[in-house]
Amino acid sequence: MSQHHILALYNNFEEAETAIAELRAADIKGFNFDDLTLKSPIEHHEVEEVLGNRPANVQWFTLGGALMGGLLGFFLISGAQANFYSQLKGGKPIVPLPPNFVLTYEMFILGGVFITVLGFLVCAGLPAKRSPLYSAKVSEDQVGILVKADAAAAPTLKGIFAKHQAIEIQEEAGK
């Protein structure tokens, strides 16, 4: 069964929201609600409620990254210092803890930030190729709803989009 992509553009978020709500309520054969993507010029917090519980897992990367950075920092530094018998600092132990904690702290943050960003790229699927249907309008002021569905479901979907005053509906046959 061939898949079709349909992009509907809306002038404002309220209209898009009602369209999504209807799509969610309607049980359309050949269309999985998870295949719906909202594209917007700004972030809408309300989207969570409308789209249902879609996961965001960046925080786990953060946790892992920060812990890894901290541990790496401490053991890298202390491990290096443990060989410092010829680089003694008078009045200080060979592995002094306070300075190492300072550096561990920095490494903790460094690891956290780097891995968070890595996590962001992974979770958000970036960098990515442009999706088949994209309108530059969504980076300006319009809200887009992109759905992927069986060809059979396409007319139904288009109907719903149109009902909610979609400015423009684009369709493309998927591969």
User: Residues interacting with another protein, by CB under 8 A?
Assistant: 37-44, 47-48, 51, 54, 56, 58-59, 62, 75-84, 86-96, 99-100, 102-103, 105-107, 109-110, 112-114, 116-117, 119-121, 123-131, 134, 136, 138-141, 146
Q: In angstroms, what CA-CA distances link 71 with 74, 79, 97, 105, 136?
A: 5, 11, 14, 10, 45
Residue closer to another protein (CB basis): 123 or 152: 123
Half-sphere exposure (Cβ direction) of 104: Cα atoms closer than 13 Å: 17
Residue closer to another protein (CB basis): 29 or 45: 45
CB of 97 to another protein, least distance (A): 8
Q: Return the closest-CA partner of residue 165 out of 2, 6, 5, 13.
A: 13
Question: Alpha-carbon distance 146 to 54, whole Å?
Answer: 16
Give the three-class secondary structure for 56.
coil
CB of 69 to another protein, least distance (A): 9
Residue closer to another protein (CB basis): 94 or 162: 94
Residue closer to another protein (CB basis): 1 or 125: 125
